[in-house]
Amino acid sequence: MSRQWVLPEVAAIEAEMIALRRELHARPELGFEEHATSALVAAKLEAWGYRVTRGVGGTGVVGTLARGSGTSLGLRADMDALPIREATGLPYASRNDGIMHACGHDGHTAMLLAAARCLAEKTHWRGTLNLIFQPAEEGLGGALKMIEDGLFQHFPCDRLFAMHNVPGFPAGKIGVHSGAFMASADEVTIRVTGRGGHAAAPHQTIDPVVVGASIVMALQSVVARNVAPHEQAVVSVGALHAGSVSNVIAPHADLHLSVRALSADVRELLERRIRALAEGQAASYGASVEIDYRHGYPVLVNHDEETAIAHRVALDWGGEAMLIDGLRPFMASEDFAYMLERCPGSYLSIGNGDGTQHCSLHHPGYDFNDASLAIGASYWVKLAEYILQ
Ligand SMILES: [Zn+2]
Ligand SMILES: [Zn+2]
């Protein structure tokens, strides 16, 4: 069924590209340490006739191919792996102990390389193709590093796209969604300072455990009572540390929060309320708080026009059946958001399989689905041909 979405020229190199994907899988590298990965990417692109720029934003690579004047199209793939010990038992499982391609960036890289090769062999398109191989998507903001290194000055893009695999949807189906698609992610540490002492004399102490518990409960009201019902937000207290034994009241308690929103306004509202509640709760007990509010990736907003183009290309190529049904925004975050703040584009999804054998992202049993590779590469070729006509 889904094989009809594979272009003949992609089918011809599919086995080779799957082997390349598994080679990447076996040699995963952490963010900004993708030396072997980016060297391999650069060598392939060069061999296929791309002008290659290495070391963009650390270990990033950009391959450019220009055929006369016209639109400039950017396609981006991420290359980094995660500090996870692989438990797939696959013959091509990670040989770098404690590091794993558990987010499918090996697949994204191989998919874009396959498209790169096919597009280099085609002569009918016009314009400039910028293939952006980005380091360090997992929390380190490699996208921002590339931007600060002059990515869009040296390689201006009129339209920009990237694609991430999504477990739980049929392999190879394409997902498009206009507007806010992935959440901002901020991390907050709240240090409560009370007064420690003997557990038998609580009246002589200010118990930071009680204050911390009170803050945790108060925080539950932010999403329930401050965020409008039609908006989406998350305030999770992922860790709460205080004390070490039962008969001592500790001097401090530390709360670690993950805070997510799907709009800049809600993101601001969350910060305001979290600060006010933590300070107010602490003050009411005579304790104090120190708040370390670290802003992570911003909300990822897909642009309407580029999303419409992506939708059109999927429809023309694969019909209604090629589109993921019922794709909703994710509360996970993604640093492609920084690129979309500067360049019109869209972040697309590709199904990684909907059977029970397909693990979630960042799971030690996860593997990119090779059945998606040729479809994703074919889709990139069709999208590039549509935009660079
Ligand atoms: Zn990830
Ligand atoms: Zn990822």
**Tens digits of per-residue pLDDT, 91-129?**
999 999 999 999 999 999 999 999 999 999 999 999 999
What's the pLDDT at 320? Answer: 96
Cα 168 → chain centroid: 17
Residues 194 and 266 in one domain: yes
Residues 206 and 262 in one domain: yes
Distance 104 CA to ligand 1 centre (A): 8
Q: How far apart, in whole angstroms, are the C-alpha atoms of residue 14 and residue 21?
A: 10
- Ligand of minimum distance to the alpha carbon of 79: 2
- Ligand of minimum distance to the alpha carbon of 82: 1
Distance 192 CA to ligand 2 centre (A): 34
Domain boundary among 271, 295, 319: 295
Residue 70 has pLDDT above 70, yes or no: yes
Q: What is the arithmetic mean of pLDDT over 368-372? A: 96
What's the pLDDT at 326? Answer: 87
Could you read off the pLDDT of 236-263 as tens digits, one per residue?
A: 999 999 999 999 999 999 999 999 999 9
Q: What is the arithmetic mean of pLDDT over 330-354? A: 97
Residues 160 and 63 in one domain: yes
Residues 26 and 152 in one domain: yes
Residue 1 has pLDDT above 60, yes or no: no
137 class by beta-carbon count within 10 Å (0-12 exposed, 13-18 middle, 19+ buried): buried
Could you read off the pLDDT of 343-364 as tens digits, one per residue?
A: 999 999 999 998 766 789 999 9
Averaged pLDDT score across all residues of the chain = 97
Structure-token pair, residue 310: 């992506």
Q: What residues have a C-beta under 5 A from ligand 1, the ion?
A: 103
Where does the pLDDT of residue 282 fall: very low under 50, low under 70, confident under 90, or very high at 90 and above?
A: very high
Domain boundary among 295, 311, 343: 295
Residues 289 and 174 in one domain: no
Residues 149 and 13 in one domain: yes
- Ligand of minimum distance to the alpha carbon of 77: 2
CATH number at residue 65: 3.40.630.10
- Ligand of minimum distance to the alpha carbon of 105: 2
Residue 297 has pLDDT above 70, yes or no: yes
Determine what percent of the chain falls in helix, strand and coil, rounding each to the nearest 5: 40, 25, 35
Q: Which of 29, 34, 78, 80 is catalytic?
A: 80
Structure-token pair, residue 1: 């069924």
What's the pLDDT at 355? Answer: 77
Residues 150 and 260 in one domain: no
Please tell me whether residue 144 adopts helix, strand or coil conformation: helix
Could you read off the pLDDT of 44-69 as tens digits, one per residue?
A: 999 999 999 999 999 999 999 999 99
Please indicate whether residue 9 is annotated as part of the active site: no
Is residue 59 within 8 A of residue 66, CB to CB? The reply is no
Residues 352 and 218 in one domain: no
Q: What is the arithmetic mean of pLDDT over 281-306? A: 98
What's the pLDDT at 357? Answer: 65
Where does the pLDDT of residue 2 fall: very low under 50, low under 70, confident under 90, or very high at 90 and above?
A: confident
Domain boundary among 237, 261, 295: 295
What radius of gyration, in Å, describes the C-alpha atoms of the chain? 24
Using CA atoms, how far residue 280 sits from 167, 196, 276, 277, in Å, is 42, 20, 6, 5
Residue 156 has pLDDT above 90, yes or no: yes
Residue that has been written with the tokens 């004399």 in this structure? 201
What's the pLDDT at 153? Answer: 98
Residue 330 has pLDDT above 70, yes or no: yes
Residues 167 and 189 in one domain: no
CATH number at residue 265: 3.30.70.360
Residues 151 and 205 in one domain: no
As a whole-number percent, the residues of the chain with pLDDT over 90 amount to 97
Please indicate whether residue 149 is annotated as part of the active site: no
Could you read off the pLDDT of 9-29 as tens digits, one per residue?
A: 999 999 999 999 999 999 999
Distance 361 CA to ligand 1 centre (A): 6
Q: What is the arithmetic mean of pLDDT over 217-235? A: 98
Q: What residues have a C-beta under 5 A from ligand 2, the ion?
A: 103
Residues 197 and 241 in one domain: yes
Q: What is the arithmetic mean of pLDDT over 358-379? A: 95
What is the pTM assigned to this prediction? Answer: 0.95
Q: Which domain holds residue 237?
A: 184-295
Residues 174 and 320 in one domain: yes
Distance 164 CA to ligand 1 centre (A): 9
Where does the pLDDT of residue 272 fall: very low under 50, low under 70, confident under 90, or very high at 90 and above?
A: very high
Q: How many domains does the chain divide into? A: 2
